[in-house]
C-alpha cells in the first residue's frame, strides 16, 4: 500500500483511517455493487488484482444498499450541487437526519440540539460515511451556522442509526 495513494472507493487519502488491500474476491464484490449503483467505478477496478481502500469504505460499499448517491458526491467527479439547489429545510418541524416530519407520540423520542459542536461533528461524520444518509445530513447542515439557533430537532432513533456507523458518538442531549 502506497502512503500517498487514495482510497479506490472514496478517493480520499489513505492516511485518514484503517486501510485494507482488497484482493480478487473482494474486487469482484465491489464490482458487483458498482454495477448495481451504476457509478461506473467498476471500469477502473475490472483489470486490477488489488485495490487499496479504507476498511469502512469497503464495508459500506460492499454491504450497504444506501450507497447509491456516492458517485455523485465523490471528490473525483465534476458534479457538485450548488447551495441554491438545496431546498429550505424546516429544522423545527422535521428531523434533520432523516428529513421526515417530527410527530410527537408515545413511541418516538424527539430531541433538540443543545451543544454547539453537534453540527460540526455531524458534518464530519456525514462526510466520512459517504452514503446517502450522510450526504443528506451534510447538505442540510452546511446551509446553517448553528443548530441551536434554528432549534434543530431529530428522532433519537435516527441519531442512533447515524451514530451506529462506527464513528465517535455525538451527545444526544
Q: How many domains, the chain?
A: 2
Q: Are residues 92 and 157 in the same domain?
A: yes
Q: Are residues 52 and 99 in the same domain?
A: no
Q: Quote the cell numbers at residue 106.
A: 408515545
CA torsion, points 58, 62, 65, 68, in degrees to nearest 10? 70
Angstrom distance (rounded) from CA 34 to CA 64: 12
Angstrom distance (rounded) from CA 22 to CA 53: 7
Contact 7, 18 (CB under 8 A): no
Q: Are residues 49 and 99 in the same domain?
A: no
Q: How does pLDDT run across 84-132, given as a tens digit for each residue?
A: 344 577 888 889 988 888 887 777 888 999 888 899 999 998 888 878 8
Q: Are residues 87 and 114 in the same domain?
A: yes
| Mean pLDDT computed over 4-19 | 74
Residue-number span of the structural domain to which 148 is assigned? 83-163
Residue 7 falls inside a structural domain: no
Q: Are residues 102 and 142 in the same domain?
A: yes
Residue 26 falls inside a structural domain: yes
Q: Are residues 96 and 66 in the same domain?
A: no
Beta-carbon contacts of residue 141 (< 8 Å; ≥ 6 apart): 96, 119, 122, 123, 126, 147
End-to-end CA distance of the chain: 41
Q: Are residues 91 and 152 in the same domain?
A: yes
Q: How does pLDDT run across 12-60, given as a tens digit for each residue?
A: 777 655 788 889 888 888 888 878 777 788 888 988 999 888 877 777 7
Amino acid at each position: 500500500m502506497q502512503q500517498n495513494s487514495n482510497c479506490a472507493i472514496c478517493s480520499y487519502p489513505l492516511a485518514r483511517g484503517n486501510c485494507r488491500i482488497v484482493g480478487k474476491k473482494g474486487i469482484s464484490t465491489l464490482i458487483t455493487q458498482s454495477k448495481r449503483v451504476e457509478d461506473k467505478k467498476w471500469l477502473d477496478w475490472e483489470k486490477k488484482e488489488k485495490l487499496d481502500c479504507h476498511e469502512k469504505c469497503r464495508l459500506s460499499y460492499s454491504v450497504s444498499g444506501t450507497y447509491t448517491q456516492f458517485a455523485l458526491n465523490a471528490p473525483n467527479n465534476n458534479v457538485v450541487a450548488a447551495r441554491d439547489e438545496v431546498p429550505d429545510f424546516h429544522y423545527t418541524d422535521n428531523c434533520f437526519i432523516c428529513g421526515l416530519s417530527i410527530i410527537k407520540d408515545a413511541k418516538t423520542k424527539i430531541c433538540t440540539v443543545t451543544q454547539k459542536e453537534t453540527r460540526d461533528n455531524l458534518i464530519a461524520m456525514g462526510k466520512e460515511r459517504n452514503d446517502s444518509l450522510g450526504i443528506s445530513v451534510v447538505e442540510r447542515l452546511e446551509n446553517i451556522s448553528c443548530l441551536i439557533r434554528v432549534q434543530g430537532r431529530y428522532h433519537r432513533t435516527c441519531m442512533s442509526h447515524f451514530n451506529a456507523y462506527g464513528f465517535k458518538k455525538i451527545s444526544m442531549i
